[in-house]
Amino acid sequence: MLITVAGFKGGIGKTTTAVHLACYFSQLGKTLLVDGDPNRSATGWSKRGDGDNFPFKVVDLMQAALYSPKYEHIVIDTAARPNEDELQALADGCNLLVLPTTPDALAIDALLQTVDLLTELESDWRSQCAERNRYRILLTMVHPKPVKMAQQAREALAEVPLFDTEIRRLIAYEKAALMGVPVYEVKDRMAKIAWSDYEQVGKEIMS
């Protein structure tokens, strides 16, 4: 499985999503995380702490060609705001494009601006291969209250494919990035719940 995580805004949980999907896929087979963001956030995360806390290898784009044939699952983290051509190239280069978004109006607006393009890509894919997975939107950093916000986001995104699972806004993720570990290794009472959200997304991808 080759999964690319992309988004139309900064700071919406792309890297957090890429890291935890890579954790999920590591349970299924040898997994590589390709850090395609010039900011190198995933690489930085992997090097904090004692620097060996991820169950997968992290490489940058320049190393990806050499490493990828040896891995069963590959997750690619990317920088924010791909233009149309870049989005097309990203989509063409993977089995599933995961697009995280926060449920706030500005992030949803940024996403909706590209919905036409995504719809076009979708019909291209269908004509090429009916079985091919497409893109899917993931609501991230969903605050437990107000519940209404996530509901409104779902309504605004009614026309686009959305994961059923939402990633809750939990401080455990920030602690994980700071400590250089996956969220399930964080000593926080919500850490297991945080991990269960991404596990659920992984299951949706595989189902």
Ligand X SMILES: Nc1ncnc2c1ncn2[C@@H]1O[C@H](COP(=O)(O)OP(=O)(O)OP(=O)(O)O)[C@@H](O)[C@H]1O
Assess 7 for contact with ligand X (CB under 6 A): yes
Six token digits for residue 46: 């992997």
Residue from 58, 74, 139, 167 touching ligand X (CB under 6 A): that is 167
Question: Should residue 174 be labelled a site residue for ligand X when binding is judged by CB under 6 A?
Answer: yes
Contact 132, 121 (CB under 8 A): no
With CB cut-offs between 5 and 8 Å by kind, which of ligand X, Mg ion, none does residue 11 bind? Answer: ligand X
| Cβ count near 45 (within 10 Å) | 26
Using CB under 6 A as the binding rule, whether residue 14 contacts ligand X is answered as yes
| 41 is a site residue for ligand X (CB under 6 A) | yes
When CB distances are held under 5 to 8 angstroms depending on the partner's kind, the choice from Mg ion, ligand X, none that residue 174 binds is: ligand X
Among 3, 4, 8, 16, binds ligand X (CB under 6 A): 16
User: Minimum Å distance from CB 24 to Mg ion?
Assistant: 18
For residue 9, which of 81, 61, 78 has the smallest C-alpha distance? 81
Helix or strand (DSSP H, E) at 87: helix 84-92
Binding residues among 117-156 for ligand X as defined by CB under 6 A: 140-141
Q: Which residues bind Mg ion (CB under 5 A)?
A: 14-15, 41
Based on the shown chain and the rule CB under 6 A, indicate whether residue 170 belongs to the binding site for ligand X.
yes
Which of 3, 13, 114, 139 is close enough to bind ligand X by CB under 6 A? 13
Other beta carbons within 10 Å of 62: 8
Q: How is residue 62 written in tokens?
A: 């320049």
Q: Classify burial at 121, counting beta carbons within 10 Å of its beta carbon; exposed 0-12, middle 13-18, buried 19 or more.
A: buried
Q: What is the largest CA-CA distance in the chain?
A: 48
User: How near is the Cβ of 13 to Mg ion at its closest, in Å?
Assistant: 8
Q: Which chain residues interact with ligand X by CB under 6 A?
A: 7, 10-16, 37, 39, 41, 80, 140-141, 167, 169-170, 173-174, 177
